[in-house]
């Protein structure tokens, strides 16, 4: 149930004047609130969109926030889904106005007393409800499609993926007792996946969720010594600057493309030094599009990663498609894509690399 301790007048809230500058500030503030901020951002974005004309919305998103339409769509869809689970009809403008004020009141109070970056509250002051639970996680084909993430696998976190992806990786490429390393652990889904499948796990992040057992480490500086000769390295880095506003300036998502490629090159080399002979390193990546796929608007980060990891000495063992859900896009995004003759991107690849001895030419073939 939603917390109703913050008393507000619905009439007063629905008659409040719309201030674009105020909403811009709120959206940017909410990015400090790791768990609840994404949902709070989504609700504030819905409020702005309901008050702006069609063309003005796009100008505001790009001009004032510097975000992509896919980022705003993901946030608004997350808010819609969470509101549905809590029986909140936020598509009704009066209810939307009331909820955004209640959220901001709570946010303002928490900002004075808590570390918002580690607050495990939803936008209404409650523990987040589970969105879905399922043990039907195993995939036997090379397309791993999950509409929702299992809430038993990690906490809500910016850019987190369905933990079922980590479960399948661990199932196929490790055995019980093996050591799994996640250097960009986020909400800890890999830790929970390892517990479920009886694997050991060490996990790190530049913003570590310590209650999940995640330690601090900046992967751009390499791996800690305890990772040496691990059996598997699970890599889920930011997809270049997709969702850049959610990660912060310390994240590699803040890098421009040449710097980002240099980061992946060095990461591949560090992984090769760290994983044991015969071990695996997995790399999840979505290609980048400037607005829509076009002749000049597509950056193939996946092919780049294949080249970089091969250059470090790895062999490509498998390539698995883990598509995004189409729910990340709104009806407005779809209509805009049609009008502009573009395609929205759902393709996301999981690359499986293996560390094996260098090949040699024997007889008439490489072995």
Domain ranges of the chain: 10-118, 163-357
Looking at residue 30, its pLDDT comes to 72
Number of alpha carbons in the 13 Å side-chain half-sphere of residue 120: 10
Residues 6+ apart with CB under 8 A from 271: 223, 233, 235, 281, 309, 312, 314, 353
Its pTM surpasses 0.85: no
Contact (Cβ atoms closer than 8 angstroms) between residue 17 and residue 141:
no
Q: Which two tokens stand for residue 168?
A: 């399948």
Architecture of domain 163-357: 3-Layer(aba) Sandwich (3.40)
Q: Which stretches of the chain are DSSP H helices?
A: 10-14, 20-30, 34-51, 54-60, 69-85, 93-113, 163-173, 189-196, 244-247, 257-274, 301-312, 331-339
When pLDDT is averaged across residues 313-318 and rounded to a whole number, the result is 96
More confident residue, 82 or 57: 57
More confident residue, 112 or 279: 279
Please determine, for residue 190, whether its predicted confidence score (pLDDT) is greater than 60: yes
| Residue indicated by tokens 């993926």 | 161
Which band of pLDDT confidence, cut at 50, 70 and 90, is reported for residue 113?
A: low
Which band of pLDDT confidence, cut at 50, 70 and 90, is reported for residue 272?
A: very high
Which band of pLDDT confidence, cut at 50, 70 and 90, is reported for residue 17?
A: low
Q: Label residue 134 exposed, middle or buried (CB < 10 Å: 0-12, 13-18, 19+).
A: exposed
Looking at residue 32, its pLDDT comes to 60
Distance CA 132, CA 130 (A): 6
Q: pLDDT over 90 for what percent of the chain? A: 35
Q: What is the mean pLDDT of the chain?
A: 80
Other beta carbons within 10 angstroms of residue 314's beta carbon come to: 23
**pLDDT-wise least confident of 111-125, 207-221, 235-249, 266-280:** 111-125
Looking at residue 280, its pLDDT comes to 98
Please state whether beta strands 361-362 and 365-366 pair in parallel, antiparallel, or not at all (unpaired): antiparallel
Sign of torsion over alpha carbons 219, 223, 227, 229? positive
When pLDDT is averaged across residues 193-218 and rounded to a whole number, the result is 93
Please determine, for residue 1, whether its predicted confidence score (pLDDT) is greater than 60: no
Report the Cα 144 to chain-centroid distance in Å: 16
When pLDDT is averaged across residues 304-319 and rounded to a whole number, the result is 96
Looking at residue 55, its pLDDT comes to 74
At 216-269, the pLDDT tens digits run 999 999 999 999 999 999 999 988 877 776 677 778 888 888 999 999 999 999
Which band of pLDDT confidence, cut at 50, 70 and 90, is reported for residue 10?
A: very low
When pLDDT is averaged across residues 66-86 and rounded to a whole number, the result is 75
**pLDDT-wise least confident of 1-15, 45-59, 159-173, 316-330:** 1-15
Report the Cα 132 to chain-centroid distance in Å: 17
Looking at residue 172, its pLDDT comes to 95
Please state whether beta strands 361-362 and 230-235 pair in parallel, antiparallel, or not at all (unpaired): unpaired
Please determine, for residue 4, whether its predicted confidence score (pLDDT) is greater than 60: no
When pLDDT is averaged across residues 188-194 and rounded to a whole number, the result is 94
Distance CA 237, CA 185 (A): 9
């Amino acid at each position: 149930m939603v917390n109703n301790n913050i008393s507000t007048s619905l009439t007063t809230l629905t008659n409040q004047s719309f201030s674009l500058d105020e909403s811009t500030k709120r959206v940017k503030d909410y990015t400090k609130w790791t768990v609840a901020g994404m949902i709070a951002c989504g609700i504030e974005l819905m409020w702005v969109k309901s008050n702006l004309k069609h063309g003005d919305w796009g100008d505001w998103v790009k001009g004032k926030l510097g975000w992509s339409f896919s980022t705003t769509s993901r946030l608004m869809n997350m808010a819609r889904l969470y509101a549905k689970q809590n029986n909140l009809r936020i598509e009704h403008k009066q209810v939307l106005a009331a909820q955004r004020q209640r959220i901001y009141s709570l946010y303002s109070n928490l900002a004075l007393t808590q570390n918002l970056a580690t607050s495990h509250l939803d936008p209404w002051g409650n523990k987040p409800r589970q969105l879905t639970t399922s043990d039907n996680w195993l995939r036997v084909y090379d397309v791993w499609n999950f509409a929702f993430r299992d809430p038993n696998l990690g906490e809500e976190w910016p850019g987190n993926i369905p933990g079922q992806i980590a479960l399948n990786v661990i199932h196929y490429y490790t055995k019980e007792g093996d050591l799994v390393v996640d250097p960009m652990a986020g909400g800890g889904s890999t830790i929970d996946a390892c517990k479920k499948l009886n694997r050991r796990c060490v996990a790190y992040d530049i913003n570590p969720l310590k209650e999940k057992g995640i330690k601090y480490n900046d992967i751009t500086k390499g791996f800690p010594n305890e990772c040496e000769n691990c059996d598997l390295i699970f890599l889920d880095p930011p997809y270049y600057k997709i969702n850049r506003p959610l990660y912060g300036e310390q994240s590699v998502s803040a890098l421009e493309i040449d710097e980002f490629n240099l980061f992946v090159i060095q990461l591949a080399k560090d992984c090769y030094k760290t994983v044991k002979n015969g071990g695996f390193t997995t790399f999840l990546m979505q290609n980048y599009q400037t607005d829509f796929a076009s002749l000049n608007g597509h950056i193939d980060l996946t092919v780049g990663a294949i080249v970089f990891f091969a250059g470090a000495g790895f062999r490509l063992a498998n390539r698995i498609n883990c598509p995004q859900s189409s729910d990340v896009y709104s009806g407005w995004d779809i209509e805009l894509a049609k009008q502009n003759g573009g395609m929205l991107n759902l393709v996301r690849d999981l690359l499986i690399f293996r560390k094996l001895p260098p090949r040699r030419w024997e007889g008439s073939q490489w072995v």
